[in-house]
Structure 1
Amino acid sequence: MFERFGVSGQAEHVYLELVHSEPTSREQLAAGLGPFAAGLDDVIAELSGHGLVSLDPTRALGFQVVAPHRAVDILIEREEQRLAREREALAASREGVGGLLEEFLSARVRRTGDAVETIDEPTVVRARLYQLIQGAQRCVDATHPGAALSAEATEQSLEVDRQLAGRGVAARILMSRESLGPEHWETYLEETTALGHRVRLMSAIPLLQIVIDEEIALLPFVTPAGRTGAKVLHGADLIRPAIVLFDELWGTGVPFEAGVGPGNDAKIDEARMRQVATLLAGGLKDETIARRLGISTRTVRRVVAALLDHLGAESCFQAACLAVRAGWLDPTDEAVRGEESVTGADAPRRKT
């Protein structure tokens, strides 16, 4: 029971004997221990070191056993202190690697003045990205096109997200809807949002890019040798197009919610999608649509995600246009034109 706290088996046996009986002398204790009584003084010293007995020269035994509930608290507190010291040492190791990383990168990154870096090797790209993320002070915006990462890569990404959250750096992450499905990936998205980062989904993300503090952008490219390289751009003016592109893509994304995936989308029928498409075209927000249909906002967002997939749209506006072309909606309908006779909270808010 106490082995995980570094207590020897003999010391634990002696402690349990003290708990189960109340010996009045060391001789009586030794008699109850039998073969475990060997080296009793050393064992008592070990128990004292762990805080499981308190020395008391006024007692015949010379010590008093600590009650089990308190003994466990003491062991846990000491283990937590040990783990905290280890975490501090690990954090110091991470900080200490900065100099080595800089030397590693300086020999492998080609720089054009202060504005542009060119990297030709995938491992160097990952190392430079790690360095840039570690230096983030305010915000990180990233797009992730394509499939989910492997379980190992996902765990590494989650660790980075934890570090950012711990430093108060906000992240906006735009994920491809096509990546949904693998359990480890959706768990990652849930944990990332729980950290306070924002995650949205969209189909057919055009490229991968990472923007840090609105001052630095990392953009990948394929080298002539067929490897994945990257350009690192510095300066707000130079990376302005990357910022504008991200904001436009972000505006078309659907907020990620647990349980929104291909398996769940299949349960949403066309009739429900037509209902939501009609109300979206009328300019109603998700919360209002939910009240109208008597469903949760989360369900509305699931239907919207399914609708976008079904129509091959990348935004709610595009979905409404495609729904009209498909004959789902009548463009003369008052609901579509945002002219329903509604008031208050149900009034259309996207009417122009």
Structure 2
Amino acid sequence: MLDALIALGLSELDGQVYSALVVAPKATVEELSEACGVPVQHCCKSLTRLTQQGMATRTSTDRDRYLAVAPEAALGTLIAHREAELHTARTEMQRLMDLFREASQFTDPARSVEVLTGGEAIVQRLEHLTGASQHEVRGFDCPPYIQELGANLPRQRQQLKSGVRFRTVFDRDALAWPGRLENEILVSVQDGEEARVRPALPMKMIISDDRMAIIPISFGDRVLDAAYVIHPSTLLQALNALFEAEWARAVPLQAAIGTVQESSEPDADHRKLLPLLAAGLTDESIARSLGWSARTTQRRLQTLMRELGAGTRFQAGMAARERGWI
């Protein structure tokens, strides 16, 4: 037990005194001094330190006698402090590694790709990536998930408040994942995240600024407990371009929510409009083709685009194709 206490930051003497007090409750300084084989003066100073750290306390009936605070509480605090210190150290290590990779990307191209193994390591790097972003976080979101539902919301909310932009393209399966839409996705959108939806995404991915991306390593249809970390390189530039292409083709979230279920068939007017819209005809040409007035044509086009949740003709065509309308 003594080695474990020393590993948590206690001195050897304090570890000895606390261990002795655990097995000898209500002991006096003299009794503890004898049990540990140390001078009374040293033992008294150790008890003072243990009391200040919340690991020991005087008895209520006799102030000359001491009790050990339950190890679960006393050591739990020490463990929490040490874990916080280790987390800070890992974060600093990752920051320095980012700088190291950036400086050596031309002299050692192999360092542009890193492999993470283990769910804990991946989650920790994702947290670091989100927290260290200064301008924008972009991502492809699709099941399965390694983080608990809503675990990243506080960190993301803080980043949004500081001015970091978040853009996410969600796979339609992400909207159907139990509890995720209502308890996480819509909450993030309310906080300021920009969200769009695609029927299917090529991969799960998150990109921080233009300096780092994380994508899972998969084998067939199975996602392994490992991930690639992509540092500044041609590959990262390609992932940036892939995100922007999917973002341009995606449908805004609010319009896509209703399409998680089977979409209804277009009405007769929409069936007439869609092929002409997909062919790139102007409003005037569509009006002439269908024998509608300009006002009627514009009104029906606006109704169609609103139903599809599209802001442009291109998005309307893509959304209609995804619904199987054309």
**Which TM-score band applies after superposition, normalised by the shorter structure?**
0.5 to 0.7
Tell me, in whole angstroms, the C-alpha distance in 2 between the residues paired with 1:221 and 1:136: 23
Tell me, in whole angstroms, the C-alpha distance in 2 between the residues paired with 1:217 and 1:289: 45
Tell me, in whole angstroms, the C-alpha distance in 1 between the residues paired with 2:259 and 2:150: 23
Contact 1:279 1:289 in 2 (8 A): no
Show CA shifts across 1:96-129 (max 9, x none): 67424448979xxxx9875332111122111111
Show CA shifts across 1:187-243 (max 9, x none): 233322222221111112011111111111112104899732111121154411111
Show CA shifts across 1:126-179 (max 9, x none): 1111111111100011001347x69x8331233333122122110110001233
The 1:290/1:115 distance shift into structure 2, 3 A limit, reads: same
Aligned with residue 231 of structure 1, among 209, 228, 232: 228
Contact 2:130 2:156 in 1 (8 A): no
Match of 2:75 in 1: none
Show CA shifts across 1:242-289 (max 9, x none): 11111111111111116723466544546465255235313679xx98
Match of 2:216 in 1: 220
The 1:183/1:119 distance shift into structure 2, 3 A limit, reads: closer
How high is the TM-score relative to the length of structure 1? 0.49
Tell me, in whole angstroms, the C-alpha distance in 2 between the residues paired with 1:123 and 1:243: 26
Unaligned runs of 5+ in 1: 1-92, 312-318, 324-352
Are 1:291 and 2:299 an aligned pair? yes
Determine what percentage of the aligned residue pairs are the same residue.
23
Deviation of the 1:185 alpha carbon: 2.6
Contact 1:276 1:300 in 2 (8 A): no
Match of 1:99 in 2: 88
Match of 2:186 in 1: 190
Unaligned runs of 5+ in 2: 1-81, 96-100, 102-107, 284-295, 311-315
Letter in 1 for 2:299: R
Name which of structure 1's ranges 225-234 and 208-217 shifts more when overlaid on structure 2. Answer: 225-234
Contact 1:142 1:210 in 2 (8 A): yes
Tell me, in whole angstroms, the C-alpha distance in 2 between the residues paired with 1:289 and 1:123: 56
State the SS of the aligned residue for 1:207: coil
Contact 1:143 1:175 in 2 (8 A): yes
Contact 1:117 1:231 in 2 (8 A): yes
Aligned with residue 179 of structure 1, among 174, 182, 185: 174
Match of 1:134 in 2: 131
State the SS of the aligned residue for 2:192: coil
The 1:126/1:270 distance shift into structure 2, 3 A limit, reads: farther
Tell me, in whole angstroms, the C-alpha distance in 1 between the residues paired with 2:270 and 2:142: 25
Contact 1:122 1:227 in 2 (8 A): no
Tell me, in whole angstroms, the C-alpha distance in 1 between the residues paired with 2:199 and 2:190: 23
Name which of structure 1's ranges 167-176 and 111-120 shifts more when overlaid on structure 2. Answer: 111-120
State the SS of the aligned residue for 2:202: coil
Tell me, in whole angstroms, the C-alpha distance in 1 between the residues paired with 2:212 and 2:297: 40
State the SS of the aligned residue for 1:221: strand
How high is the TM-score relative to the length of structure 2? 0.53
Letter in 1 for 2:122: V
The 1:272/1:204 distance shift into structure 2, 3 A limit, reads: farther
Contact 1:190 1:257 in 2 (8 A): no
Aligned with residue 207 of structure 2, among 211, 229, 237: 211
RMSD after superposition:
4.2
Contact 1:186 1:258 in 2 (8 A): no
Tell me, in whole angstroms, the C-alpha distance in 2 between the residues paired with 1:238 and 1:266: 37
Tell me, in whole angstroms, the C-alpha distance in 1 between the residues paired with 2:269 and 2:187: 30
Contact 1:289 1:300 in 2 (8 A): no
Letter in 1 for 2:135: R
Aligned with residue 260 of structure 1, among 245, 257, 261: 257
Match of 2:40 in 1: none
State the SS of the aligned residue for 2:150: helix
Contact 1:119 1:125 in 2 (8 A): yes
The residue correspondences of 1:292-307 to structure 2 (distance < 5 A) are 292-293=300-301, 295=303, 298-301=306-309, 307=320
State the SS of the aligned residue for 1:210: strand
